[in-house]
A and B are shown apart, each in its own frame.
Chain A
Amino acid sequence: MKPRKDLLDIQSLTDEEIEFVLENAVPFKDLFRRSVKKVPTLKGRTMLTLFYEPSTRTRSSFEVAASRLSADVTHFDVESSSVVKGESVLDTVETLEAMRVDYIVVRHKQAGIPNLIAKNTAASVINAGDGWHAHPTQALLDGFTLREVFKDLRGARCLIAGDIQHSRVARSTSLLLRRLGMNVAYLAPGSLMPREIPREIPQFGNWTDALEWKPDVVYLLRVQSERLDEPFFPSAAEYHKNYGLTDARVQILRERGIYLMHPGPVNRGVEITDKGMDYEKSLINQQVENGIAVRMSVLYWLRPGAQGGES
């Protein structure tokens, strides 16, 4: 496969590229069972994480992935850097360019920032979440996880439930799952359902209707705590009762053999309960483990200085 410079979204990937990343993730995951969980593939390379939005999980996942490829890992501490003193993103990138890092993993609350950075550096840029726009490695790890569960994804049904409107996970993951042949539906309060949705995606406003669609997987989105204060958002208790996975709904999933996913971190008592976390068909921990393998596969494929990655 031809290497690419950047991974900015799912849209710009070809089917062959998606397949390449997912298939290579399998041997990377096999490494985790070895006594030495590390290969020298990226020895001498440096990966830098540049997170303008806090995230522990995604950042650690990238850091573990890079370490297992023998790359050096470094973190640009935005909080304590001159960014807070008003340095622009591009000034920061110029600094990183001078440090000659090979991979930059970016998260930013504003959509399009990773693209802007990618245009201004020779390093490979990986979008680790930009605003409501995209989170491509999350989508790839979700697709990888589902392929481990279902032999054939074509025709399988995934119900994505929660704040679809403000979710880059919903956007990227539903795009990828549909590319892999799955059917996707959304469950959300009317105020959190985006206006423009592809016709093939059914929209539901309550669990009863959504479950009648007969999903094979329920994918819960995280409720952003800051949103709970916003006027159009229901209260935590109200959200839980109407849109969360209550204990009673866990029981329905169990009776029907429906799998459960969540991108983490979870809000217990809001979108999920303790019982939901203990549900035997939950794939949440598998998603975390697979995240490392898929990110290793992405780092293996991208190449600093190569062409492409723009959508």
Chain B
Amino acid sequence: MSPDSTQRLLLDKAAMAGAIRRLAEEICEKNKGARQLALVGIHKRGVPLAYRLADELRELKCTDVLIGTIDITQYRDDLAMMKMVPKLEGSDIPFDIDDAQVVLCDEVIFTARSVRAAIDELLDHGRPARVQLAVLIDREGREFPIQADYVGLHVKVGTSERVFVRFEEVDGDDAVYVQTSTAVK
């Protein structure tokens, strides 16, 4: 964290687990008995979210779930503006996307630009029967008319604030923080 910013905890490990659990219950309720339900995590932190949701759905004995990941880098609309060229993680969709019920998973929805890119990429893999969106955190700031179907937590934060989700698999611990930049712009 830079000295010009402060951060406050939004969800600790237990609260985060509860939010993921509730997300899974909602997904289960709406997709009970669905054939070919597929959770597709958006790199980077949508991936651990997809795996956690799959574990919960299994525990709920809801329905069989398929898992995939997508790296939207090749579909981003801001590549030419980026100072650094991102390393590609690659997408891995090890099942037939045609006619699948896809739930895209991402840790935060903000501008919705990454969701736009993810949908575009998904359609290049095949023709899913339906695409839904699950996010852990929904914050304001949409730049596209896209909303999530399943939300763990709605958060009101200012434009200068950022929401950080940490996953043990990627970051070493589970937590959600809001970081406020106090630096004079």
CB of B85 within 8 A of CB of A38, answer no
Q: B124, A36: Cβ atoms under 8 Å?
A: yes
Asked whether B88 lies within 8 Å of A24 as measured between CB atoms, the reply is yes
Give the shortest distance, in Å, between B73 (CB) and chain A (any CB). 8
A39: CB under 8 A from chain B? yes
Tell me which residues across on chain B come within 8 A of A1, comparing CB atoms: 84-85, 87
- B75 contacts A303, CB within 8 Å? no
- CB within 8 Å for A27 and B84 given contacts A35-B125, A40-B74: no
Q: Is the interface of B mostly helix, strand, loop or mixed?
A: loop
Q: Are A34 and B84 in contact (CB under 8 A)?
A: no
Q: Which residues of A contact B91 (CB under 8 A)?
A: 27, 30
Interface residues of B in 78-115 (CB under 8 A from A): 79-80, 83-85, 87-91
Q: Is the CB of B79 within 8 A of A24?
A: no
Residues on B facing A (Cβ under 8 Å): 71, 74-75, 79-80, 83-85, 87-91, 120-121, 124-126
Which residues of A are at the interface with B, using a C-beta cutoff of 8 A?
A: 1-3, 20, 23-24, 26-28, 30, 34-36, 38-41, 300-301, 303
Shortest distance between the CB of A3 and any CB in chain B (Å): 5
- What 10 new A-B contacts, CB under 8 Å, besides A35-B124, A41-B74, A303-B85? A1-B84, A26-B90, A27-B74, A28-B88, A30-B91, A40-B74, A40-B75, A40-B120, A300-B85, A300-B88
User: Which B residues lie within 8 Å of A34 (CB)?
Assistant: 124-125
CB distance from A119 to the nearest CB of B (A): 23
Measured CA separation A301–B87 after assembly (Å): 9
The smallest C-beta distance from B89 to any residue of chain A, in angstroms, reads 7
Nearest-neighbor residue (CB-CB) of A2 within chain B = B84
Distance in angstroms between the alpha carbons of A3 and B120 in the assembled complex? 25
A253 and B7 alpha carbons, distance in the complex (Å): 64
Closest to A1 in B: B85
Cross-chain contact B75 with A39 (CB below 8 angstroms): yes
* Cβ contacts under 8 Å, A27 to chain B: 71, 74, 88-91
> Cβ of A23 and Cβ of B87 under 8 Å apart?
yes
Contacts of B125 in A (CB 8 A): 34-36
Contact A3 B124 (CB under 8 A): no
Contact A39 B74, beta carbon cutoff 8 Å? yes
| Contact residues in A for B87 (Cβ distance below 8 Å) | 1, 20, 23-24
